[in-house]
């Protein structure tokens, strides 16, 4: 049996750990053959497949990014996309796919699975917003990086008694903002799930200055003011219809400065959150996902993704996982009310 492995969407720490785990168990325990697909779905459109074996995955466990490359390609947006994908699989004798991706890549996997392509999904994204799994790998690393940044920003904010706004990633969901904000002792945390009131943010900022502390405001890139709209870097859409976000942090710092009369600056963490070596937890989770994904392939359990439930790894239908995003529960956000302001 020959298995193709692909990584799609924004990269994420732990992708290589999954690839290594899938290949090691697949070859060593099940005697499977592997082939790597270059740059996500693009590789299947362009017939760009590369050899993948145990020697090729040696030493990649701690490496960030993906040895296979990635892209935000949606094959259904390309002429004869489905036919080109199936032709490539047939030409190389690929019997099944392991698809490592977030909402978009797994959304395509769901459709292809519906068309009869045998595949198993592995949920990845630093945003942690894939439904059906308690955590995606990559999230822990991103939260660690954002928390360290917040820790560092506290001391410089206090030295200058200025408000510092930290913009973190999170297109639809505020998981990174909430976890890093709480871990880093932020005074305000703004998430996409809850439109915010700028006046209230400024009140919280003033209260903090009133206690002789410099406020740290953590804002997810997808957070929106109650009377405003999503702030975008540019309006061009990717193949999944997403705009490029960023700007809310800069806008908020200006509002804070104008409304409170205090100095306010912004730090946009951006891709630093996604690059570099995965945390120990993400290596552990990615490795387990890989082991269970290749088990699912071996069992012929297609149309599912592997998912973390408590400490167990389970199989979850891809169609359910990709039906909607996993958002921050309002009651979870409210737990931290006492720390805000
Ligand atoms: O989906 C993960 C993510 O990191 C989002 O948080 C962010 O909005 C997006 O990717 C940025 O993507 P890119 O860097 O590929 O434009």
In the residue annotation, 127 being an active-site residue is answered as: yes
Residue 255 beta carbon below 6 angstroms from any ligand 1 atom: no
pLDDT of residue 73: 98
Q: What number is the average pLDDT over the span 233-260? A: 92
pLDDT of residue 292: 99
pLDDT at 236 over 90: no
Q: Measured in angstroms, how far is the CA atom of residue 177 from the centroid of ligand 1?
A: 14
pLDDT of residue 235: 80
**pTM (whole model) above 0.75:** yes
CA-nearest of 316, 327, 74, 284 to 193 is 327
The rounded percent of the chain whose pLDDT value lies above 70 is 100
Tell me the average pLDDT of the chain: 97
pLDDT at 58 over 90: yes
Smallest CA separation from ligand 1 atom 8, residue:
171
Q: Measured in angstroms, how far is the CA atom of residue 171 from the centroid of ligand 1?
A: 7
For a pocket test of ligand 1, which of 169, 172, 173, 270 has the largest count of ligand atoms closer than 8 A to its C-beta? 169
pLDDT at 234 over 90: no
pLDDT at 59 over 90: yes
**If DSSP states are collapsed to H, E and C, what string results for the chain?**
CEEEEEECCCCCCCHHHHHHHHHHHHHHCCCCEEEEECCCHHHHHCCCEEECCCHHHCCCCCCCCCCCCCCCCCHHHCCCHHHHHHHHHHHCCCCEEEEEECHHHHHHHHHHHHCCCCEEEEEECCCCCECCCCCCECHHHHHHHHHHHHHHHHHHHHHHCCEEEEEECCCCCCHHHHHHHHHCCCCEEECCCCCECHHHHHHHHHHHHHCCCCCEEEEECCCCECCCCCCEEECCCCCCCCCEECCHHHHHHHHHHHHHCCCEEEEECHHHHCCCCCCHHHHHHHHHHHHHHHHHHHHCCCCEEEEEECCEEEEEEHHHHCCCECCCCHHHHHCCHHHCC
pLDDT of residue 318: 98
Question: Do 142-275 and 2-137+278-321 have the same topology in CATH?
Answer: yes
Banded model confidence at residue 24, pLDDT cuts 50, 70, 90:
very high
For a pocket test of ligand 1, which of 127, 233, 328 has the largest count of ligand atoms closer than 8 A to its C-beta? 127
The residue ranges of every structural domain in the chain are 2-137+278-321, 142-275
| pLDDT greater at residue 144 or residue 229 | 144
Q: CATH topology for 2-137+278-321?
A: Rossmann fold (3.40.50)
pLDDT of residue 228: 80
Cβ within 8 Å of residue 116, ≥6 positions away: none
Catalytic residue among 11, 104, 127, 129: 127
* 290-323: pLDDT as tens digits: 999 999 999 999 999 999 999 999 999 999 999 9
Which ligand 1 atom is the nearest neighbour of the CA of 10? 15
Task: Kindly report the CATH class assigned to 142-275.
Answer: alpha beta
pLDDT of residue 35: 98
pLDDT of residue 245: 84
Smallest CA separation from ligand 1 atom 10, residue:
10
Residue 170 beta carbon below 6 angstroms from any ligand 1 atom: yes
pLDDT of residue 341: 86
Smallest CA separation from ligand 1 atom 11, residue:
10
* 89-147: pLDDT as tens digits: 999 999 999 999 999 999 999 999 999 999 999 999 999 999 999 999 999 999 999 99
Q: Measured in angstroms, how far is the CA atom of residue 12 from the centroid of ligand 1?
A: 10
């Amino acid at each position: 049996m020959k298995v193709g492995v692909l990584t799609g969407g924004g990269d994420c720490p732990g992708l290589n750990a999954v690839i290594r785990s899938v290949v090691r168990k697949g070859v060593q325990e099940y005697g499977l053959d592997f082939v790597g697909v270059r740059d996500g779905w693009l590789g299947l459109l362009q017939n760009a497949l590369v050899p993948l074996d145990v020697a090729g995955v040696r030493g990649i466990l701690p490496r960030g990014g993906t040895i296979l490359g990635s892209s935000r390609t949606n094959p259904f947006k390309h002429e004869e996309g489905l036919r080109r994908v199936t032709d490539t699989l047939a030409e190389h004798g690929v019997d099944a796919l392991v698809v490592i991706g977030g909402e978009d890549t797994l959304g395509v996997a769901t459709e292809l699975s519906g068309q009869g392509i045998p595949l198993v999904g592995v949920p990845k994204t630093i945003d942690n917003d894939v439904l059906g799994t308690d955590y995606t790998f990559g999230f822990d690393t991103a939260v660690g990086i954002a928390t360290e940044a917040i820790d560092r920003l506290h001391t410089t904010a206090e030295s200058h008694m200025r408000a510092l706004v930290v913009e973190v990633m999170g297109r639809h969901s505020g998981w990174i903002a909430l976890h890093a904000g709480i871990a880093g002792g932020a005074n305000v945390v703004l998430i996409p799930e809850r439109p915010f009131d700028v006046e209230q943010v400024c009140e919280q900022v003033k209260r903090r200055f009133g206690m002789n502390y410099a406020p740290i405001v953590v804002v997810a890139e997808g957070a929106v003011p109650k009377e405003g709209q999503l702030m975008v870097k540019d309006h061009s859409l990717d193949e999944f219809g997403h705009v490029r976000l960023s700007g809310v942090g800069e806008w908020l710092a200006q509002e804070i400065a104008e409304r409170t009369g205090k100095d306010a600056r912004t730090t946009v963490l951006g891709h630093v959150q996604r690059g570099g070596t995965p945390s120990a937890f993400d290596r552990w989770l990615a490795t387990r996902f890989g082991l269970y994904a290749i088990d699912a392939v071996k069992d012929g359990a297609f149309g599912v993704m592997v998912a973390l439930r408590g400490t167990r790894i389970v199989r979850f239908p891809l169609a359910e996982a990709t039906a909607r995003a996993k958002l921050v529960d309002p009651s979870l956000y409210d737990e931290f009310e006492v720390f805000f302001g």
